[in-house]
Structure 1
Amino acid sequence: MSKDKETPEERRERLRQKELNNPSSSVHGNNLSDLVGSLGWKGTGILILVLIFGFIINAAFFR
């Protein structure tokens, strides 16, 4: 596939793979960006909600 016709997701993945070969180019870790990129916006929203409810339940039961 040519670089002109690739989707934004394919482009991100190609750039991520390129960066993995040169890890010194990234100042910060890639773990969160990989997670969010693979989940999409719905999965990211669900993950955020689960974390928020987890903190609320933790505060309610272990106070």
Structure 2
Amino acid sequence: MSGNHETPEERRERMRQEELKKPSSSIQGSNLADLVGGLEWKGTGILVLLLIGGFLIYSVFFR
């Protein structure tokens, strides 16, 4: 057996990098899936809390 075992996270990242190298027929920017895919669950949770907190602050001060 070969020692080429990669974790699912490494495999996803490798596949994503290969996909980015291919030319795309449509122009597309980065999306939420790319952002969240690069973060761990803690980073995603912090991002969600910041978005909710920002909305709450905006709604209180600019109502």
Whether 2:34 is the aligned partner of 1:34: answer yes
TM-score (norm 2): 0.75
Listed as ranges, the gaps of 5+ residues in structure 1 are none
* Deviation of the 1:22 alpha carbon: 1.6
Runs of 4+ in 1 over 4 A off after TM superposition: none
Residue deviations 1:1-38, cap 9 Å, x none?
A: 62xx1111111110111101124278x65432232122
More helix by share: 1
Listed as ranges, the gaps of 5+ residues in structure 2 are none
RMSD: 2.4
Distance 1:11 1:44 in 2: 20
Aligned partner of 1:46 in structure 2 is: 46
Residue deviations 1:26-59, cap 9 Å, x none?
A: 8x65432232122111110110011001001001
Greater gyration radius = 2
Contact 1:19-1:25 within 8 A present in 2 as well = no
Total equivalences in the alignment: 61
Distance 1:62 1:37 in 2: 33
TM-score (norm 1): 0.75
> What percent identity do the matched residue pairs reach?
68
